[in-house]
């Protein structure tokens, strides 16, 4: 295994690049839009703007995968072996991948040799909620662009790793950070922000990918106005922004949360960015009666102006930290002889939703976890039918006013599915959903907003629901809501899924295994232990006539930090930091 340290901000190994003979070409808007079907590269997060994470490659298939072998492994090195949640990108024989603590590496895909390394100089006061992770870069032209834990966008030269431009997106001292991979849409870099546990105000912003100049900003808490920049001037663009206090009491909208911390997807058919928003702040829902728009929602945003076209709120008046950030994936299906332009999402609240992606209308919803206590079901519009007995109690009605009544809520706040992206197979027409079965005891407490301080107003403990498993990979039919097959895993599943035309589905486990399953039956076809837990998202591409597959290995993320009794179950797992690359032997 190759290991490269480096204490400098950039280590540019130009000599190595010239020796390797790699000729680099710029990434275009067309490359990104066609990414799903151009198998020689991976130039978008989600392996296509819709985020289906499906590849038409089939050299590695259910019959041949048993012969797949690792060909190289690259170590991120140093002492920064924390959660590695990145999805790699591949272009012209170079892999671009982020690592913990806001690092970026360029790696030769033939040899696994490092070409260059960039380390962001992070200040001491960063406040990441859920580990020092990063989920990947964006590629555009000759730039490699990513977000940092101190809430900056940084554009690097793809050949050297040197900084081309850098922009401050938000103030890390207020609790903001960036962990998601940015999107590129028509020359614009689209980014969200993290920090919902600190009373920040979520937002989506667009920057010129070449220059870094801001183009528009769209806050995601109702009452805050959006802006566009014309001729260098800031112009109010409050369309669909809502009115202050309309679904929020008093001034709580000023620190309302709704962080856009997972990035999003893009649908070329409707020219819509699909962005999820996080929990309202604080967690104590008794302090903020109302739906608290646009928290815990999916938003369709015009990428040219930042206008909100439509919204669908999965958990109005969220009192369990169920968020709404999970990816909304576009897909088409036939019903009554007609094509339905749909989009699906598996929410932290335990329900999976199928929406009309042209207008946000609710088509159907159904549980994808084994138990849900907080709601009795969904009404005809997809709004949850609350069981108020399972809402954490109001501390102000107790004798001492310090702690409200505790409830057992299922799923736990880490979600029936958290950030880890699901995949959609165009062959089976199934979604492959990495889910978890866990419960929490949760109660409310008094709290007040203070800039840069935790703003929860709640306490909790998380516990497994089964002795045999927490994680469950499920094949779900979006047309019927039925589970087709499942694979149960002892530890939680916290990494992304990849589906291929080879009738395979790949996912990694905290126990360190890369596992491959028959996409139709769920039969385990392959496994290989990488030495540390996998919480990244696998990719596949074609190079020199062969199919390659890569995944990051490095245990971490939110589970060991927030997981309570669950964290005890996985405390023996080793941290790491590496990329493993596999292929079939040459015949």
**Catalytic annotation, residues:** 321
- Taking the CB of residue 450, how many other CB atoms lie within 10 A of it? 11
Residues 6+ apart with CB under 8 A from 141: 26, 27, 28, 209, 210
Residues composing the chain: 587
List, in sequence order, every residue forming a beta bridge with 487; answer none if it has no partner. 473
Q: Taking a C-beta distance cutoff of 8 angstroms, is the pair 487, 522 a contact?
A: yes
DSSP H or E run through 582? strand 578-583
| Strands (E) located in 220-323 | 227-230, 233-236, 265-267, 272-276, 297-301, 308-313
Contacts of 63 (CB under 8 A, 6+ apart): none
Query: Concatenated DSSP letters for 449-512?
Result: --TTS----EEEEEEES-SS-SEEEEEE-TTT--EEEEEEESSPP-S-EEEETTTEEEEE-TTS
Contact 507, 496 (CB under 8 A): yes
**Three-point CA angle 148, 151, 156, nearest 5°:** 45
What's the burial of 254, exposed, middle or buried (CB within 10 Å: 0-12/13-18/19+)? Answer: middle
CA gyration radius for the chain? 22
Cα–Cα distances in angstroms (integers) from residue 283 to residues 117, 286, 392, 472, 512, in the given order: 39, 9, 10, 27, 33
Reduced to 3 states (helix: H, G, I; strand: E, B; else coil), residue 19 is helix
């Amino acid at each position: 295994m190759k290991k490269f340290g480096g204490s400098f901000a950039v280590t540019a190994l130009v000599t190595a690049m010239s020796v390797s003979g790699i000729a680099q070409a710029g990434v275009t808007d067309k490359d990104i839009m066609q990414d799903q079907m151009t198998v020689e590269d991976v130039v978008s997060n989600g392996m296509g703007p819709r985020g289906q994470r499906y590849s038409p490659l089939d050299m590695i298939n259910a019959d041949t995968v048993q012969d797949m072998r690792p060909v190289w492994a690259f170590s991120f090195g140093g002492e920064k072996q924390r959660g590695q949640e990145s999805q790699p990108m591949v272009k012209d024989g170079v892999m671009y991948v982020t690592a913990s603590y806001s690092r970026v590496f360029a790696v030769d895909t033939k040899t696994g040799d490092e070409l260059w390394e960039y380390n962001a100089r992070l200040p001491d006061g960063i406040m990441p909620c859920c580990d020092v992770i990063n989920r990947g870069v964006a590629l555009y032209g000759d730039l490699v662009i990513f977000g940092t834990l101190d809430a900056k966008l940084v554009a690097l030269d793809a050949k050297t790793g040197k900084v081309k431009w850098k922009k401050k997106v938000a103030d890390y001292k207020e609790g903001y950070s960036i962990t998601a991979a940015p999107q590129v849409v028509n020359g614009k870099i689209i980014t969200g922000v993290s920090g919902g546990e600190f009373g920040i105000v979520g937002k989506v912003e667009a920057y010129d990918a070449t220059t870094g100049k801001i183009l528009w900003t769209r806050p995601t808490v109702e009452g805050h106005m959006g802006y566009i920049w014309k001729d260098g001037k800031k112009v109010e663009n409050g369309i669909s922004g809502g009115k202050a206090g309309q679904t929020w009491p008093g001034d709580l909208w000023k620190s309302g949360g709704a962080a856009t911390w997972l990035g999003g997807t893009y649908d070329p058919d409707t020219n819509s960015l699909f962005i999820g928003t996080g929990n309202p702040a604080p967690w104590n829902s008794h302090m903020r009666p109302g739906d608290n728009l646009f928290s815990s929602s999916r938003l369709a945003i015009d990428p040219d102006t930042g206008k909100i076209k439509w919204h669908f709120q999965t958990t109005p008046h969220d009192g369990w930290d169920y968020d709404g950030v999970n990816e909304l994936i576009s897909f088409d299906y036939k019903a009554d002889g007609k094509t339905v332009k749909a989009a699906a999402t598996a929410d932290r609240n335990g329900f999976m939703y199928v929406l009309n992606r042209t207008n946000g209308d609710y088509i159907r919803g159904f549980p994808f976890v084994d138990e849900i206590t907080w709601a009795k079901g969904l009404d005809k519009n997809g709004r949850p039918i609350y069981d108020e007995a399972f809402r954490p109690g109001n501390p102000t009605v107790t004798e001492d006013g310090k702690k409200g009544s505790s409830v057992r809520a299922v799923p736990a706040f880490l979600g029936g599915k958290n950030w880890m992206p699901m995949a959609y197979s165009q062959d089976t027409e199934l979604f492959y959903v990495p889910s978890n079965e866990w419960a929490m005891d949760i109660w409310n407490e008094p709290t007040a907003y203070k800039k840069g301080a935790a703003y929860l107003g709640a306490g909790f403990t998380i516990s497994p629901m089964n002795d045999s498993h927490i994680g469950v990979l499920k094949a779900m039919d979006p047309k019927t809501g039925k589970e087709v097959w499942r694979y149960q895993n002892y530890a939680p599943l916290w990494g992304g899924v990849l589906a291929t035309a080879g009738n395979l589905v790949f996912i990694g486990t905290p126990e360190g295994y890369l596992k491959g399953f028959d996409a139709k039956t769920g039969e385990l076809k392959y496994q290989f232990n990488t030495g540390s837990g996998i919480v990244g998202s696998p990719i596949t591409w074609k190079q020199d006539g062969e199919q390659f597959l890569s995944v990051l290995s490095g245990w971490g993320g939110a589970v060991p930090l927030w997981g309570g009794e669950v964290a005890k179950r996985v405390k023996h797992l080793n941290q790491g930091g590496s990329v493993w690359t596999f292929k079939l032997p040459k015949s």
